[in-house]
Amino acid sequence: MQVEVTKSEGLSRQFAVTVAASEIDEKVNTRLGELAKTVQMPGFRPGKVPVSLVKKQYGRSVIGEVLERTISETSAKAISDNKLRPAMQPKVEITAFDEGKDLEFTVSVEVMPEIVQPDFSSIEVERLVVTVDDKMVDEALERIAQEQKRYEKTDEARAATAEDALLVDFVGKVDGKEFSGGAATDFQLELSSRNFIPNFVEQMIGAKAGEKRTIKVRFPDDYGAEELAGKDAEFDVTVKELRVTKPMKVDDEMAKGVGLENLEAMRAAIRERLTSEYGSISRVRLKRSLLDTLAENADFELPPVMVESEFAQIWKSISGEALPGHHDHDHDHAGHDHAGHDHGHDHHDEGPDLIAQGRFKQYLEESGKTIDAVKDEYRDIARRRVQLGLLLTEIGTVNGIKVADEEINRAVVNEARRFPGQEREVIEYYQKNRPAMEQLRGPLFEDKVVDFILELAKVNDKPVTADELMADPDAEDSDANGAEAAAEASPKKGAGKKAPAKKASAKKAAASKSKE
């Protein structure tokens, strides 16, 4: 085998490899001899088939097999002999071959950059700390009481407000004809609800018991039922009762309603859960700050093909379009298998609201951005992902950080708990699907590397309020991240955009504590 370096620029390397025809012939003949011992042909006893007949029957397939194996072995040897660390799978192109002649091919590979670990002791980051006090617990209890409010009939002869509910019958019509799913009897219409066709609830505010109204609305253009999308409709509504709210009283009975012994036990459960949730959010912010610092100070060249592969995956996830020449298997990075893509800061990963909802084309129209401009934004994200992935992997490798099988197993169990009633099926899925199991390793590895760095860095605790902790550090104002999604609901519809949580879940705290 002859190997000649034909390119060595930056992280790119290319070799021209020549394998002598005699070496290829020897391997082909050896393989044909092996087949002759096992192949069966009419008129010959097993193991007695002449090699010439085997060659006539299987020669072309054997040559293909030998070529594939030879290219794989010689490529690996060329890379090993030159002490290279490939960033991605090498690309091979056969430049010349014919039976009885030398095999000539090129091997193109991008190699891993030289990465110098930072001085961890010089890194300084802030950890935001929220102390859960009695006032926060009281507010959480009030929110739970409000969430569990009930509506009761009132005989007040007044117009309904947005705080009330109405017991109604309604019938919906399009072009004068009733449509399926457009009618209900004794339906409790909460006038603060947003889960309805736009302008439906608003037109019912001010109604009184015994009143009849005709509501005119238009179904959204992207409404789930195609036969109704974009159409005008009328609903004949009969108001049967006016109902007012009756909040649940914050007492021992409310606590017992969520499975706790008394109000004090509920207060303790809420305090514990809020402390835990704010701590988790603080951890995310701390990790983000650390990774920002690492990214700002990292100084090494990135393998272009790795960046492009990462970008192709991101672009496909947000736009649904695969880039030419990119396939899922191209994403097999040789350089940062361990590091996940959480990276604590890729705030554009979900993007503006419309992108997060899978409405990429609408986002382009409303933002006025060109596809090229958006691609540039996400290519920067790809660079950051690759940069941090390589850096964290290098730090973990140099310092012997590993993820034990026991940690993977715990991650599988935690994943299974997210699917109550299907735990066994989830665990069996991971047990039978090794690649899925390995996908859990990346985030675990990344977190262990982050913890390792934080142990050596200077971490300053900074007391903050809950609102300060929950604030988006990137947004200058609450509307900075895109347009609000329109309410896309029929009178009995369910889903709009899920609003971001502003407070840790106290109700969840109480419920989870009651199960312990």
DSSP assignment string, 429-473: HHHH-HHHHHHTHHHHHHHHHHHHHHHHSEEEEEE--HHHHHS-T
Q: How far apart are the first and last CA of the chain?
A: 67
Give the helix, strand, coil percentages of the chain, each rounded to 5. Answer: 45, 20, 35
Provide the mean pLDDT of the chain.
84
Residues whose CB falls within 8 Å of the CB of residue 166, separated by 6 or more in sequence, listed in order: 160, 188, 189, 191, 204, 207, 239, 240, 241, 242, 243
Q: If pLDDT is split at 50, 70 and 90, which confidence band does 71 have?
A: very high
The 3-state secondary structure of 163-208, one letter per residue: CCEEEEEEEEEECCEEEEEEEEEEEEEECCCCCCCCCCHHHHCCCC
Residue 484 pLDDT > 60? no
Which segments of the chain belong to CATH 3.10.50.40?
Answer: 150-246
Q: What is the β-pairing status of strands 124-129 and 458-463?
A: parallel
Helices 506-514 and 263-297, interaxial angle, to 10°? 120
Cα 287 to chain centroid distance, Å, stands at 18
May I ask the CATH architecture of the domain 255-481+498-514?
A: Orthogonal Bundle (1.10)
Separation CA 275–CA 281 (nearest Å): 10
Strand runs (DSSP E) across 117-164, as ranges? Answer: 124-129, 150-154
- What mean pLDDT do residues 435-442 have? 89
- What mean pLDDT do residues 472-477 have? 62
Residue 476 pLDDT > 80? no
Range of weakest confidence among 20-34, 326-340, 441-455: 326-340
Residue 45 pLDDT > 70? yes
Question: What is the model's pLDDT at position 323?
Answer: 65
Separation CA 269–CA 444 (nearest Å): 28
The phi and psi torsions of 220 (rounded to 5 degrees) equal: -60, 150
Question: What is the model's pLDDT at position 57?
Answer: 85
The phi and psi torsions of 415 (rounded to 5 degrees) equal: -65, -40
Residue 316 pLDDT > 60? yes
Question: What is the model's pLDDT at position 498?
Answer: 31
Q: If pLDDT is split at 50, 70 and 90, which confidence band does 358 have?
A: low
Q: Fill in the DSSP letter of residue 341.
A: S
Question: What is the model's pLDDT at position 384?
Answer: 95
- What mean pLDDT do residues 101-107 have? 92
Separation CA 31–CA 37 (nearest Å): 10
Torsion of CA 283, 287, 292, 294, to 10 degrees: 150
Residue 62 pLDDT > 50? yes
> What tokens appear for 49 in the block?
């088939």
What is the fold, at CATH topology level, of the domain defined by 2-110?
A: Alpha-Beta Plaits (3.30.70)
Question: What is the model's pLDDT at position 486?
Answer: 24
Residue 193 pLDDT > 90? no
pLDDT in tens, 373-428: 989 999 999 999 999 999 999 999 999 999 999 999 999 999 999 999 999 999 99
Question: What is the model's pLDDT at position 39?
Answer: 83
Q: What is the β-pairing status of strands 212-218 and 458-463?
A: unpaired
Q: What stretch of H or E contains 54? A: helix 51-81
Q: Are 485 and 353 in contact (CB under 8 A)?
A: yes
Q: How many other CB atoms sit within 10 Å of the CB of residue 494?
A: 9
Question: What is the model's pLDDT at position 324?
Answer: 62
Residues whose CB falls within 8 Å of the CB of residue 58, separated by 6 or more in sequence, listed in order: 32, 35, 39
Q: If pLDDT is split at 50, 70 and 90, which confidence band does 444 have?
A: very high
Which segments of the chain belong to CATH 3.30.70.1050?
Answer: 2-110
What percentage of the chain carries pLDDT values higher than 70?
Answer: 84
Closest CA to 236 of 491, 489, 495: 491
Residue 159 pLDDT > 60? yes
Residues whose CB falls within 8 Å of the CB of residue 176, separated by 6 or more in sequence, listed in order: none
Cα 419 to chain centroid distance, Å, stands at 17
Residue 454 pLDDT > 90? yes
The full length of the chain comes to: 516
Q: If pLDDT is split at 50, 70 and 90, which confidence band does 55 have?
A: confident
pTM across the whole model:
0.66
Which segments of the chain belong to CATH 1.10.3120.10?
Answer: 255-481+498-514
Dihedral sign computed on CA atoms, order 146, 150, 156, 161: positive
What is the fold, at CATH topology level, of the domain defined by 150-246?
A: Chitinase A; domain 3 (3.10.50)
Question: What is the model's pLDDT at position 181?
Answer: 87
Range of weakest confidence among 113-122, 340-349, 439-448, 455-464: 340-349
Q: Is 373 helix (H, G, I), strand (E, B) or coil?
A: helix
Residues whose CB falls within 8 Å of the CB of residue 2, separated by 6 or more in sequence, listed in order: 17, 18
pLDDT in tens, 265-278: 999 999 999 999 99
Residue 369 pLDDT > 80? yes
Separation CA 4–CA 177 (nearest Å): 79
Range of weakest confidence among 266-275, 320-329, 366-375, 504-513: 504-513
Q: Which long-range contacts (CB under 8 A, 24 or more apart) does 372-381 make?
A: 375/311, 375/315, 377/348, 378/311, 378/314, 378/315, 378/318, 378/348, 379/307, 379/311, 381/311, 381/314, 381/346, 381/348, 381/349
- What mean pLDDT do residues 365-374 have? 86
